[in-house]
Structure 1
Amino acid sequence: MGGLLHLGVAIDQPHAYDAGAYVELARLAERGGLDFVTLDGAFAGPGLDTAGVLARVAPETSRIGLVPAVTAVAGREPGAVAGLDWVSGGRAGLLTHGVDAPGPLPADPVCCVDVTDRQPASLAARHADVALVRAVSAAHAAELRGQLAARAAEYGRDPREIRVLASLRVDLGDGERAAEPGHGGGGPRPTAQGPLYRGGPVDLAELIAVWHAEGAVDGFHLLPVEPRRDLERLVNGTVAVLQHRGLFRTFYPGGTLREHL
């Protein structure tokens, strides 16, 4: 399925503990045909049971992938994700920023690795179905992709098995205005929290289309600065433009997260 554009989005909401708040955003993302949503307790709020919340989201959605962050490869987290995979009908994944314990990752569900330093990069090369990279230009993303591909080959994997997505914070507060200098065509702006795009949905669609066409990435994992505002503009603006141009799906051909990827 190489060549398809893949899009995921974070639905973290600070201080939101009611599952209903996450159901609303997951449904919106599903309406746009996105591959998956992620939920990371580190951003949503301390003590949030990400897998538990998404297990409550599962029956309120039907196609979109549900990917909670986990902190270990052993213990209750993978078990909870396995339960999520069951209740969602094969739509679960797990997002990890590294490993806290030795041992293999679960064979299922889909494994997403946030590649930010050497240890997660090695983990991604061995196990990831999806690798999230932080890049400030298409050339930078292509360089990171090449490094990951080389490492995956060292472990005997076909690098084409790994979907490489650029992790990008997005601030669409300016509506239809063009991207601010240093945020759009020249690549997103580097910040302490990661690459940031600030501008309008249409220019964001162009950035996504260009990076994907150049083969730098397979898609993007988007992190809205203002979840409710920005996700609505992503779906009704950015994604709609990509769909109109024939670059992104208008329906889900399959029912599981692996089929989306």
Structure 2
Amino acid sequence: MPEPTRPLHLAVALDRPGTYDAEPFVRAARLAERGRLDFVTLGDSFGPPRRGAGRLDAAAVLARVAPATERIGLVPTVTTTHTEPFRLSASLAALDWVSRGRAGWTVAVSASESEARLFGRRPVPSAEAAWREADAVADAAARSWGPQGHPVVAVEAITPPSRRFAARHADVAFVRAGHAGDARTVRAARDDLRRRARETGRDPAAARGRLVVLASLPVALYAAADAVALADLVGDWYADGVADGFHFRPRNPERDLALLVDGTVPVLQHRGLLRGFYPGGTLREHLCLSRPAKRRAPARETT
């Protein structure tokens, strides 16, 4: 089986509203690992759940998934707004250690009035202010240290503030695509992100400073033909340089993930577009990212 000349990165969202048991997430992550996907994501929010519903903490769920998997990356969403940086760093470091270097986190912010009220905060931060706060939290999290250095940083690069953040801090940027006809929009977003990254002094194409841009695409697969059609789309966008890979958002997690792993992945591997093995043990190795330099904590002022 031929190996791809440049890596095609694939990830999948494990989100399944209304699920309050960790076991379905364990099974789904194992299935994604069998397909040699780079990582799985799991969303989260500080917002209160619907009446009568519970809410799982994404980082805690993936910490439960970690010992049940061996290679796949684990990327929970963490809301930085209203979060104490030390607690966040400790949580991410714990996930990186328990997974032996497979942790990442998707940075999210909130300008929600209900969440601000939950934390007794007035006034409600604007989106711009929330992303500025995220800068400081990301800097603090980068000082946590584990098997792969510090965990991989991901962000949904949708708005100008989030793209500015991605240019400075992100290893992975998600660009939302609504359908197969969004290739031009995704390509423009990728070019914009790379331009912004270069303006900060990064080389987004190099191992150190690399910025992996993934098209975040909703999928609904009903039969093997749909899985092949998705492989065709992935191959076309990959060949055209639209994105560095895909972040799939299944409509039906049970059905879609199985068809993705058993249908789409083998077609991509047969065509020489996707590897048949993990190149290493850490998420940074999967994404061809170099190990970051260790940062020192700022010195305390003395009087």
Identify if the C-alpha distance between structure 1 residues 46 and 113 changes in structure 2 by more than 3 Å, giving closer, same or farther: farther
Alpha-carbon distance in 2 for matches of 1:140, 1:46: 36
Deviation by residue 1:79-130 (Cα, 9 ceiling, x = unmatched): 2121100100000000123445450512210001111111111110001110
Q: Residue 216 of structure 2 is aligned with which of 152, 167, 187?
A: 167
Residue number among 65, 69, 88 corresponding to 2:73 in the alignment: 65
Q: Quick check: 1:248 aligned with 2:281?
A: no
| Cross-structure match for 1:158 | 203
Q: Which 10-residue stretch deviates more, 89-98 or 26-35?
A: 89-98
Amino acid at match of 1:243: Q
Letter in 2 for 1:158: D
Which residue is 1:145 aligned to? 190
- The alignment's TM-score, normalised by the length of structure 1, stands at 0.86
What's the counterpart of residue 57 of structure 2?
Answer: 49
The answer as to 2:157 corresponding to 1:131 is no
- 1:12 counterpart SS class: coil
**Which residues of structure 1 form unaligned runs of 5+?**
178-199
Alpha carbons of structure 1 residues 101 and 148: separation in structure 2 relative to 1, 3 Å: closer
Counterpart of 1:230?
Answer: 256
Q: CA deviation at 1:63?
A: 0.2
Per the TM alignment, residue 137 of structure 1 is displaced from its structure 2 partner at its CA by: 2.5
Give aligned-pair identity as a percent.
Answer: 53
Partner of 1:6: 9
CA distance in 2, matches of 1:150, 1:46: 42
Query: 1:168 is aligned with what amino acid?
Result: L
- 1:47-91 CA distances to partner (integer Å, 9 max, x unpaired)? 321111101100000000000000007253332121100100000
Q: Match of 2:20, SS?
A: coil
The CA distance in 2 between the partners of 1:102 and 1:231, in whole Å, is 34
Deviates more, 1:27-36 or 1:111-120: 111-120
Distance 1:253 1:59, change over 3 A: same
> Contact 1:51/1:80 (CA < 8 Å) preserved in 2?
yes
Count how many residue pairs are aligned between Structure 1 and Structure 2. Answer: 238
1:15 aligns with 2:23: no
Query: Which letter does structure 2 place at the counterpart of 1:12?
Result: D
- Partners of 2:185 and 2:247 lie apart in 1 by 16
Distance 2:284 2:56 in 1: 26
Contact 1:5 1:247 in 2 (8 A): yes
Output the aligned Cα RMSD: 2.0
1:116 and 2:158 matched? yes
Identify which of 24, 28, 48 aligns with 2:27: 24
Give the secondary structure class of the aligned counterpart of 2:248: strand
The 3 A distance-change label for structure 1 pair 112 and 101 is closer
In structure 1, the partner of 2:295 is: none
Between structure 1 and structure 2, the one with the greater Rg is 2
